[in-house]
Amino acid sequence: MNPTQLAFALTLLDLVPLLIRGVSGAVVAFQEGRAKMDELVAENRDPTPEEWDALDQNIARLRDDLHTD
Amino acid sequence: MKIRHLIAGLAVLALAACATPRGETPQQVVFGLKSDYRALLIPVVEYEALPRCTDKTPEVLVPGELACSDETVVELIRRADRHAFTALESASDVVRSPVATDDTIQLAIRSAETALRVLTQVLVDEGVYGEVTR
């Protein structure tokens, strides 16, 4: 690991207190996204409009929470 | 939650935000970026949902767990998120457009990648890092 990589890794460790409350949900979401990507590639197709809409709606709900006091 | 689980989760998120985009077609690439963005938003929303810090609020009640969120950090995150969202929406439109040129598509994808990295960087450098070490 070079110094830059090490610095980045250390910085990531500093993220722990922020992410501790939601990291499990984030990891699940990431894994779901990765599984969907694997599916798309395996089936050699682009996302359907329904798949785009589902992702967009999920993002919209999260952004509503983020941008609302 | 065990610390090693957290670190593993962070590594996954870091890969999500910084790895070379997955997918073989422009739509797949942007769909992957938006999926990563969704995952990144989840802990951010959790942070925003914490009560705002005040002079009388202890920032950490339990070691490793924040008790409050900093208003300045929340605003920084929101600003970076608006840029990331705009870039990702633009890329989504471009890759689904039947008239978009290859150059336009590549530019839109690069812009979305950059905006997502900026959001991650804000969390690390401007917001999260300062919050944790204050």
Q: How far is CA B90 from the centre of its chain?
A: 17
Q: What is the pLDDT of residue B63?
A: 60
Whole-complex ipTM:
0.77
Asked if residue B83 lies in contact with residue B120, where contact means CB atoms within 8 angstroms, the answer is no
Interface test with B, best of A18, A24, A64, A68 (most B CBs within 10 A): A18
pLDDT digits (tens, 9 = 90+) for B74-126: 998 999 999 999 999 999 999 999 999 999 999 999 999 888 888 877 776 64
Q: Which amino acid, B107?
A: L
By C-alpha distance, the chain B residue nearest A36 is B32
Q: What is the pTM of this model?
A: 0.76
pLDDT digits (tens, 9 = 90+) for A18-42: 443 445 677 778 778 888 989 999 9
Q: What is the pLDDT of residue A30?
A: 78
Which tokens belong to B23? 């997918």
Tracing tokens 């992702």 back to the chain, one arrives at A55
Residue B36 has, within 13 A of its CA and on its CB side, a CA count of 30
